[in-house]
Structure 1
Amino acid sequence: MAGRDAGRAIPVWLAEDDLGCIICHDLLAWPATLPCGHTFCRDCLQDLWAARRGRFCPTCREGAPGPPQLRKNTMLEDLADKYRLAARELEPLSPGPEPTPAPRPASRPGRPTAQLRTLLEGVDLSLASPKVSSSPPEQKMKDILHDLEEIQEKLRENFTQKGALEEQTQVELPEVPSSSSCPLPDQSRFAPKKASSFARWAISPTFDLESLSCNLKVSVDRRTVTVSDFLMLYAWSPERFDSSQALCSQALSSGQHYWEVDTQHCSHWAVGVASRGMKRDQILGRTTDSWCVEWKGTSQLSAWCMVKETVLGSDRPSVVGIWLDLEEGKLAFYSKADQAKPLFECPISVSVPLHPAFWLYGLYPGNSLTIRQMNV
């Protein structure tokens, strides 16, 4: 713009989801922008269209009268490539093995480190003083790495102090084991509980038709939600989600509640809770009023708490038990079999009722989630 210095640097923070494809949940590869303005990986679009035998936008469902000519969005591809490059340079700072810096093949390996902040060419993202923007690139990167090391050290100190305090004060509840606010994947200190322990708090919620996405249909008893082969002709409602998500009708505002979701027939899913006021163009777990566990379909189970992702492991639960304790302000997820194996627990603090919430992403026809009938 006229009057601005050509070399001016502006601090910008990017999360991985800002440059991601909602179909594969990976960074954009050969990004193609449709006439409606939404962008996806070209291969993801072509695979989806081949499976669905129709051409439409996976986000807004806008169709095309003929085969759209997919052209590369070069600006987004450039940003995604810079993100990958910066992620590889910063990855040694993270604990665990360093991922192999290779282009993404057709099999789509795991995503880069979740919520990783990065450095774009000509944009100052340093955590140090504004003077860094005029420094050479090598000095700029050194300053960023130094600041990140200091932040990591402070986080380690906080976790160490918090862990010592919990060991002194932790008291296990009769039915639901307590945990730290944002637990790490290792939760071996929790003793498995029998599934019958939750029977007295069991509920069997049903799906709400007003919030249901037009990509989904429900069974007669409203306990199974399925990805439809075609766009459902529901009446318009401002409560309806843009993407393939749904809430249950039951509003939970007090007490303790437990329900189970059968995930065996869905390859990509997320289950949890959300407020009725969750914005309909946002995704479960990516808001401050929604929480979930999520199976990415790529051997990764994650939990989302306060817009932060925690990787839990690579074991896929066939049935997820959800424990909501609104008296203590806790939410816990379990892999339910003969024993209820704890997956994740986090605190919740809301002043509005919460609803069971679901996401069946990937738009694979026939994928379904079922709320199990409980003896109540």
Structure 2
Amino acid sequence: MAAAIDLERLLGALDLSCACCLQYFTEPVRLPGCGHSFCRGCIGRHCSGRQRAACPLCREGFELKDLRPNRELVALVNLIPQEVKEKELETRGERKPSGAVACNDRSSPGEKEEGTWDISKQPEVTAETIELLRKDLSEAKEYASLIKSQITKDFCCMKEYVERQQKNTLMFIEQEQKAAQQKIEGTIRQLSVEVNKPTDLKAQTSNLPERQKYKGSPSTTTKITLDEKLNAIKSAVEDLKRKLEFLLVEKYARQFPPVQLADFHQETSVCSLSPEAAAENPEPRISSQFSQWADDVTFDLTRVYERLAITAQNRRVMVSSHPGDYEPSPNRFCISQVMCSQSFSTGCHYWEVITKDSDGWAVGVAHETIGKKDKLGRTEHSWCVEWLGPKKQLSAWHRNQETLLQKDKPLKVGVFLELQKKTVSFYSITDKEMLLHTFEINTSNPLYPAFWLYSLERNGSLTICHANRR
């Protein structure tokens, strides 16, 4: 019984039929270039006396003198019992095309006799086939090892470049900070000397114009210059991170095997940080007065616009340049929006969203029935706060009515949903929570976290923080 099952698996896994006659191989030969195999009689008739012809499958050229017996196929075909072959022959004969005739049917008696398999040779051929398969396995292992070694070297080169760039950047920042410190300390020493000469100082300053006496100090100018340099470096590093993320998530996504990029999307990388730095830059987690109500929410792959990429264990959404490989869904948004899988109908719930990586976004809640083309905050059952970078404007939206909020762009937004009180509040999260706006919600239907992203901002992204209950 086990042998029959194994044979059935073998037949299901391997195609042991000739593409010309559609029957089991008879004296199979392998073409030298493309490696396709055919019955010797079939390929001989295909050549029609010509010494050079094209492969019937791929049209690659070959010469008749270069054909080689395919002993592996011979051994495999001869493992199939004769009754199975006859049954398969009857089945295939029903759907055989008019031009396809069995090799034995079109062979002369001499050819049939010549093509008859000598059963006494089977052990020898089987042993040879096993040896060839072992050789193929060994070669495959060697080639895989070689490729792994080359890939390891390539990734090491990339990591070395990034680490070297990191080291040089940190060294540059340290040098600039020391230079600014020396300037400020020099200014302090000069002022200390001047303090000891109040008479001379009064005499000198009495002749200066009034506005020149209160001109910005050198230390202030130095600090501003240093801040500008450091901010420029910080922006460049963030831009590099976004571009690298774009390459991994989009450009080479089809060439690389699929992976979860959770670690890549954390605010810091754990691979090169010291313990002190890692403590200063932890994974983005919720830690606020609302932590006791924190919920783990994740993006719904059936409710995301096709040109938004979802990564980092469904916690990060990013504007993409091409459609994602999503399953068809009747609920998929037709605009640059996404909803979460989780819904809430009772109790208190809280989540946080990192917004610093996008210059156009909306964070809010919506009822499940929001239309595929309805923008967040423009309907009866959706509420949000929205930032538009080009306008430098933060607003609250509901029922297509805008409330201007005189606040700077939040780098992180907290959403607190109190369903007993029927309110939803939005907070700007820094060292503490600052209330941005509170809506009264007039629905008893379950509400879902919902988000909008400015579709023209390539690589703009929103990231949901991990819940960290107290």
TM-score normalised to the size of structure 1?
A: 0.47
Task: State the structure with more CA Rg.
Answer: 2
TM-score normalised to the size of structure 2?
A: 0.38
Larger RCO of the pair (alpha carbons < 8 Å, separation 6+): 1
Larger % of helix: which?
A: 2
